[in-house]
Amino acid sequence: MAKVSVTPEQFELVEFDAAEIAAVAAEVADAVGLGSDVEVAIEVDEAAMQGKASAKVVDGGHVVVEVTGGAFESLKRTRTFDEARARAVLGQALMRVRDRLDPAFGEAPADDDLPVTEDSAWATYIEGRLDRLGVLTGRPQRRIYHFRVRHGFSDTVDRVFDRLWNGDGLSWADISAASAEAAGSTAPAAS
């Protein structure tokens, strides 16, 4: 099981429990295949209400996940922890890290340098795998909406989405090419 730490250890502005977050993160890290040699440090900014998360590999086996409080917060009860939302956020972040650590995946651009189309394609590939692992379920309609908004609306876009959603063992080059194929299928014809 991955070693997980959560900062802060005591929350003052939200009703979160660091041990509960650590348990969810450890379970998700194991599900995505990060392994027991990986250390995951989760840093929660409990004052930030928006829902954002990012993960980076600091060195070798040390991962830092920076999360705003809103990313783990229930949509129905403010300031309350929502395990399903935390699982989805951590699943996306930790699967992305796992991809980046896999030499067979290849070199993806830094998150800040990713074009929105490629980011959406990668998120589709990630969520499809998370769905099959049981980390998060029932989200293909949400994800296809985001994919279509970024790539356009066509039968080719839907076929590429299905290929990414159901994919396994894809490399960064595969994801980038799929995104380009989808975006190119809706480009206006040259006159």
Domain residue ranges of the chain, discontinuous segments joined by + = 3-101, 111-184
Closest C-alpha to 38, from 30, 46, 47: 30
pLDDT of residue 187: 59
Pairing of strands 53-59, 62-68: antiparallel
Pairing of strands 39-45, 62-68: parallel
**Per-10-residue mean pLDDT, the chain, length 191:** 92 95 96 90 92 85 92 92 94 95 94 94 96 86 92 95 97 97 73 46
Burial class (CB in 10 A: 0-12, 13-18, 19+), 85: middle
pLDDT of residue 188: 56
pLDDT of residue 191: 46
Residues linked to residue 141 through DSSP beta bridges, in sequence order: none
Helix axes 116-133, 172-184, angle to 10 degrees: 120
Among left, alpha and beta (phi > 0; psi -120 to 50; other), residue 29 is alpha
Sole residue written with tokens 């970024």? 150
pLDDT digits (tens, 9 = 90+) for 11-48: 999 999 999 999 999 999 999 999 888 899 999 999 98
